Amino acid sequence: MVVRRSSYISIAVLIISIIGIAAILLTRSAGRKGLSAEDDRFADVFIEMALAREMAGNDLDSLDILYSGIFERYDVDSIWLYDYISTISYDAERHKQIWDVIIERLDSLKRNPETDSS
């Protein structure tokens, strides 16, 4: 019975992840403000990771599954993420622009998580 419950939890996590991705895709146009493709990719990864942290709560196994899915979907890993953060930290204007977009997208999702299309 424990295995079956674990399977249901995994399926629920995946469904929630898909809903999160759909919400992100709906809000992508809200924060395009001249970001390069790579900056936009970083913003998408970071936003999905923030949503995953919120969804998983204290369940580290679920968080690991969600992060792995995000990294696979964007063909990145944690090293890429840390290197990218390090790279943008040397350019204050670009750093601010990327974080402004991330904040705008997250705020947009909080205001209207299901149907935001701005």
d(CA 58, CA 103): 23
117 falls within a domain: no
**Cα dihedral 105, 56, 20, 98 sign:** positive
58 falls within a domain: yes
**Cα dihedral 90, 97, 50, 36 sign:** negative
56 falls within a domain: yes
Kindly tell me if the per-residue pLDDT of 8 is higher than 90.
no
Per the structure, how many domains does the chain have?
1
Sequence-distant (6+) residues with CB within 8 A of 84 are 38, 42
pTM over 0.85: no
Q: What is the predicted pLDDT for the residue at 102?
A: 92
Residue 39's alpha-carbon distances to 8, 72, 85, 90, in angstroms, are 35, 18, 10, 14
90 falls within a domain: yes
Q: Which two tokens stand for residue 51?
A: 């949503």
For 59, the domain range is: 2-111
118 falls within a domain: no
35 falls within a domain: yes
Q: What is the predicted pLDDT for the residue at 71?
A: 95
116 falls within a domain: no
CB 104 within 8 A of CB 35: no
Q: What does the buried/exposed string (b/e) look like for 17-29 if buried means 16 or more CB atoms within 10 Å of the residue's CB?
A: beebbebbebbbe
At position 109, the amino acid (one-letter code) is L
For the stretch 82-109, pLDDT in tens is 999 998 888 889 889 999 999 998 988 8
For the stretch 14-47, pLDDT in tens is 666 666 665 565 555 444 567 888 999 999 999 9
Q: Which two tokens stand for residue 95?
A: 């750093």
